[in-house]
């Protein structure tokens, strides 16, 4: 049964990633937590899962619209710096606060989507 749960999680996360462009983590983190993983393990696993999904999604987006490649190349260096910084911060922050920050970001993102 747990195997099926992870298969469904993979399909849903991949679908969200393809539709929303790396939005699979929003779905993966809570589902991984529900499966029994700790907060930090859920976030780290979600990141590891999102990388290959994002590469595949990126390939198809570039194929359909070549202009995003030049825009992306300008954002990647500082995005990588932010990712490294975020990893160091996650090591030092308690799971309690990590959950609250993640929830707050989801709420703010949801409100912004509804307001546009």
Q: What is the pLDDT along the chain (116 residues), one digit of tens a residue?
A: 788 988 888 888 888 877 776 677 788 888 888 888 998 898 888 888 888 888 887 888 778 776 777 778 888 899 899 989 988 998 899 989 988 998 898 899 889 888 88
- Rounded to the nearest angstrom, the gap between the alpha carbon of residue 26 and the centroid of all alpha carbons in its chain is 6
- Give CA–CA dist 84/95, Å, rounded: 18
CB 93 within 8 A of CB 54: no
Count of the separate structural domains present in the chain: 1
- Rounded to the nearest angstrom, the gap between the alpha carbon of residue 53 and the centroid of all alpha carbons in its chain is 10
Q: What is the DSSP letter of 93?
A: S
CB atoms within 10 A of CB 14: 19
pTM of the model: 0.70
Show the tokens assigned to 99. 């959950």
Domain membership of residue 77 as a residue range: 2-115
CB 46 within 8 A of CB 24: yes
Q: How much is the pLDDT for 9? A: 86
């Amino acid at each position: 049964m747990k195997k099926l749960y992870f298969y469904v999680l993979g399909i849903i996360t991949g679908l969200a990633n393809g539709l929303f462009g790396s939005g699979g983590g929003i779905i993966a983190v809570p589902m991984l937590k529900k499966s029994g993983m700790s907060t930090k393990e859920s976030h780290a696993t979600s990141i590891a899962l999102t990388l290959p999904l994002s590469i595949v999604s990126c390939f198809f987006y570039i194929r359909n619209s070549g202009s995003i490649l030049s825009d992306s190349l300008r954002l990647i260096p500082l995005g990588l710096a932010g990712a490294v910084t975020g990893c160091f911060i996650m090591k030092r922050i308690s799971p309690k606060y990590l959950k609250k920050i993640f929830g707050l970001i989801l709420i703010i993102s949801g409100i912004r989507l509804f307001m546009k």
